[in-house]
Structure 1
Amino acid sequence: MNFKRITSLIIVGVMSTGLLLGCGSNKTAKEENKEEKSVKVVMPDGLPSIAMAKLVKEKPEIGKNYKVEYSIEKTPENLSTAVMKEEADIAVVPSNMAAIAYNKTKNYEIAGTVGFGSLYLVSTEEIKDYEDLNGKTIANIGRGLTPDIITKSIFKERGLEADKDVTFNYLNAASELVPTIVAGKEKIAVVPEPALSALMTKKPEVKIVKNLNDEWKELNNSKNGYPQSTIIVKKSFLDENKKFINDFLKEVANGTKWANENKEELGNYSEEIGVSTDKVMIPKAMERANIGFVDIKDSKDDYKNYYKKLLEIDPSSVGGALPDEGIFMER
């Protein structure tokens, strides 16, 4: 091979390498300049947003080219609208709303739970067991929703029929429940955390009669109790963003673990992101809040039993029918 021939091959080789490197650079540039994808995450004020406080406050980067926008909804109507109009890519909702969203849209699946039951039967009277409730009036919130249905289901299995053995007086929200009990207008009530901690601070004579989540576990042979705050994911978003969802759920798990280990800082975080609960109450509430992430693969039976009970008491509370297996997200 003569010198000119060798020189020509070297030049061609250098040019080819340059072209390949150029193509690689262009590909990398395209990936780096990939259009940013907006992800909308909505949740209600209260324990669900407290459970998610670390994510909302710190806004960790979850995958490249994703911008996560968190919204804490102050009313159930706003939360429901965001889900039913399929505006939310991810939402934390009351567990019965997860069933309604699936039955109505077929576009939301359950990814896991950030909180199991945090409802407590309390009294300023001497109430020791269920037989002492016979003929009594009990204050509650959420007629036809989780607090109402859970209470009625447990009472029924413990031998008390609603509107026959006991009477329920429904208030609009826990924020109304607390001052009513403090003023002595109601003596027995079902109160959720974090309202319970505020109530017991203002009226020390209030005593916990029953932890309704423990009652549910005993009656239903359940490891976790009843699911209260559920993470749902829009299926059309999941199909194209599985890695993002898996990474997001890891952050949720880490966030709820951190919340249980850093209760004082959690109070500060919650205040900064706009949670309405007084930050002083949050460390106390966490002792009974039952916050923690449980993946759907480990809680399917809890949901199936929960929805079955809801359907028996009020079919509309789950959207009129028992959700099929499609409601459970597959990784």
Structure 2
Amino acid sequence: MILKRLASGFTALVMCVALAACNTTDTSSQSSSTAATAEAAPVESPAPAEESPETASAASLRVAGLKGPTTMGLCNLISDSEGTGEYDFTMYGAADEIVPLLVKGDIDAAAVPANLAATLYQRTEGQVQVACINTLGVLYILEQGDTVQSVADLKGQTILTTGKGTTPEYVLRYVLEQNGLNPDTDVTIEYFNEATEALSQLQAGRGTIAMLPQPFVTSALSQVDGLRVALDMNTEWEAVAGSKLVTGVLVVRKDAIERDPEAFSAFMDGYAASVEAANTDLEGTAALCEEYGIVAKAALAQKALPECNIVFETGSEMKTDLTNYFQVLYDADPSSVGGAMPDDAFYYNAEA
């Protein structure tokens, strides 16, 4: 296998979704909003002697990942398949690095923010499908204090966050509105380009409330005295939307599936097992997250994993949860999902 890893110079913290992780920006989503913006500098491992790199690349399923939760569930599969030549993995710092590669067919599949997958479907005129949901909501409201016990308690407050014009903004505004608050008059929302900027404001005492994604939340809790998780946006979203808050998915080109359907099915089986390991073997998975540059430090990854909502959701359940999620985004801003709701052909094996 040709395993491409991030150079050690990759900047530290993840995501982010990004609202998709979360963030998003997606370019669009959370994942990408808190992910490092440096370009990936993958290092190629030597190809097996009996085949050239070109042959291995042609035979491999080329998979891209982002730093943070959307790729944490893949790391066990990366490790298990190392040396087999089945998969060619590359890590990137931001979702917008992946988009042109997937559109041109230079990669076959990618773990990306959910709404970016919908945008890619429109941009490629249906040449990609969503294969699974890999991450549910990773956004949390943090407070340095003890005044926020419900969404209603945010009235009159200033909220520091990331993701202006992307998933985090849509999620926050929707939850506020559904709880009777006007996002434009009842609260003050201050947006920053990266989660580190919002954290610096908290550290400097220029704010006490922030909405941030995992695993950055875990890091922030250790850096700011008195900081606590006040609200889980997963819980708040489900309470008003009646569906799951989705952050990340795996999107795949149709021609890659058609090239070898059985091989792709085997990949999905391996992915499911990898996610299971990510939720049960925290120490081992955390070590791999650091090794592959998905999270800066294993200790941070191990603490954050239980809060990252890593899943492997496929078929009709995936379709239902994504349709509900996309509808909320579409109603807020059609461009957030590529200008139109994805049709049934977007969903891989959705009747299974």
**Length-normalised TM-score, structure 2:** 0.79
The worse-fitting range, judged by mean Cα deviation, of 313-322 and 36-45 is: 36-45
Pair 1:68–1:296, CA change in 2 (3 A): same
Bigger mean CA deviation after superposition, 299-308 or 175-184: 175-184
Structure 1 counterpart of 2:188, from 167, 183, 188: 167
Aligned equivalents of 1:149, 1:89: Cα separation in 2: 29
After the TM superposition, which segments of 4 or more aligned residues of structure 1 sit over 3 Å from their partners?
A: 33-36
Deviation at 1:326, TM superposition (A): 1.2
Match of 1:295 among 314, 318, 321: 314
Residues 57 and 272 in structure 1, CA contact (< 8 A), matched pair in contact too: no
Q: Per-residue deviation at 1:84?
A: 3.1
Correspondences of 1:166-205 after superposition (within 5 Å): 166-205=187-226
**Aligned-pair CA distance for 1:235:** 0.7
Measured in 2, the distance between the counterparts of 1:195 and 1:99 equals 26
What is the aligned partner in structure 2 of residue 27 from structure 1?
A: none
Which structure: greater helix fraction? 1
Task: Report whether the alignment pairs 1:78 with 2:97.
Answer: yes
**Aligned residue for 1:95?**
114
Structure 1 unaligned blocks of 5 or more? 1-32
Cα pair 2:66 2:294 within 8 Å, conserved: no
**Cα distance per residue 1:262-302 (max 9 Å; x no partner):** 11122211111122432211111112111121113322111
Question: Counterpart in 2 of 1:38?
Answer: 60
How many residue pairs get aligned? The number is 294
User: Among residues 336, 339, 342, which one is paired with 1:317 in the alignment?
Assistant: 336
- Relative to structure 1, the CA distance from residue 34 to residue 178 in structure 2 (aligned partners, 3 Å threshold; closer, same or farther) is closer
Q: Tell me the equivalent position of 1:139.
A: 160
> Could you tell me which of 221, 230, 239 is aligned with 1:218?
239
Structure 2: gaps (5+ residues):
1-54
Match of 2:11 in 1: none
Per the alignment, residue 111 of structure 1 pairs with 131
User: Counterpart amino acid of 1:136?
Assistant: Q
Q: Give 1:35 deviation, angstroms.
A: 10
> For 1:219, what is the secondary structure of its paired residue?
helix
- What is the CA RMSD across the aligned residues, in angstroms? 2.0
Instruction: Report the residue type matching 2:269 in the other structure.
Output: K
> Structure 1 residues 231 and 296 mapped into 2: Cα distance closer, same or farther (>3 Å)?
farther
Larger Rg: 1
Counterpart for residue 4 of structure 1: none
- The answer to whether the Cα contact below 8 Å between 1:110 and 1:296 also exists between their aligned partners in 2 is no
After superposing the two structures, state which structure 1 stretch, 36-45 or 115-124, moved more. 36-45
1:261 paired with 2:280, answer: yes
Alpha-carbon distance, 1:246 to partner = 1.0
Q: What's the CA shift for 1:47?
A: 1.1
Counterparts of 2:330 and 2:142, CA distance in 1: 27
Matched, 1:231 2:244: no
Report if aligned partners of 1:118, 1:193 keep a CA contact under 8 Å in 2: yes
On the 8 A contact 2:144/2:225 being kept in 1, the answer is: no
Residue 22 (structure 1) aligns with: none
